[in-house]
Amino acid sequence: MSAPTTTGDVADPVTAMLQQAKAASGGRLLALHTDLARSPATLAAYLGLRRAGGDYGTLHPAIRAAIMLTAGVVDGGDYSQAIATQLALGAGVGAQETVAVRAGHVDDARTAALLAVIREAAGNTGVVSNATWDAATAAGWSDEQLIEAFVYLALTVFVDYFTNFARTELDVPPAPPITTGGQR
């Protein structure tokens, strides 16, 4: 069950931030947003991460979504995986490809090297081995791009931790299950 959400008597700054969240989410206010709005500081922190990626990000939306899918599966975040799946589909990624990314099966060696950095960082509180980082730079990712990827990792962790903390109900289609050999 979701934590109590805001009512119509929210302060104007919160209303303005909720409008930003709604606009950034295709015109739909999510349970995530209304739960975040219970604390203006928390909603502002979330929007700041979203805005940083949106305003200054250089990575392609499909790559951003792949980063979030990878981070979400590592930290077990159902909400972020559902959202990232929708973002990936919107960026032209096929549904089966979103499952493959979450399962760690990426055909493109360059993308796989980037996602190895994310997988390692998400599983080790941000720590990435020199070998993994060097493999990503050898695959053609710049330090700037790898550091930018952290924005999407941080956003994913923020969403997953918050939705677990606030017990936010999943109000978007869940990510398709990861299957292996026909079994879950």
Residue closest to 54 by CA, chosen among 87, 101, 16, 86: 87
Domain count of the chain?
A: 2
Which range, of 4-18, 58-72, 132-146, averages the lowest pLDDT? 4-18
Q: Which residues contact 183 (CB under 8 A, 6 or more apart)?
A: none
Residue 165 lies in a domain: no
DSSP tag of 107: S
Q: Domain of 46?
A: 7-56
Give, in degrees to the nearest 5, the angle at Cα 161 between 118 and 86: 65
DSSP 8-state class, residue 31: H
Confidence band of 8 (pLDDT split at 50, 70, 90): low
Q: For residues 22 and 101, state if they share a domain.
A: no
In a domain, residue 183? The reply is: no
Q: How far, in Å, CA of 45 to CA of 25, rounded?
A: 16
SS3 state of residue 160 = helix
Task: Convert the pLDDT of each residue in 87-143 to its tens digit.
Answer: 999 999 999 999 999 999 999 999 999 999 999 999 999 999 999 999 999 999 999
Residue 182 belongs to some domain of the structure: no
pLDDT of res. 149? 98
Domain match, 16 and 41 both: yes
Listed residue (41, 37, 40) closest to 7, CA to CA: 37
Instruction: Give the pLDDT band of residue 13 (cuts 50, 70, 90).
Output: confident
Residue 96 lies in a domain: yes
Residue 98 included in any domain: yes
1 lies in some domain = no
Residue 22 burial (C-beta neighbours within 10 Å; 0-12, 13-18, 19+): middle
Q: What is the mean pLDDT of residues 51-69?
A: 96
Read off the pTM: 0.87
Q: What angle do CA 60, 132, 158 make, to 5 degrees?
A: 55
Whether residue 121 is found in the same domain as residue 152: yes
Residue ranges of the alpha helices (H) in the chain?
A: 12-24, 31-36, 40-56, 61-74, 78-90, 95-103, 109-123, 130-138, 143-166
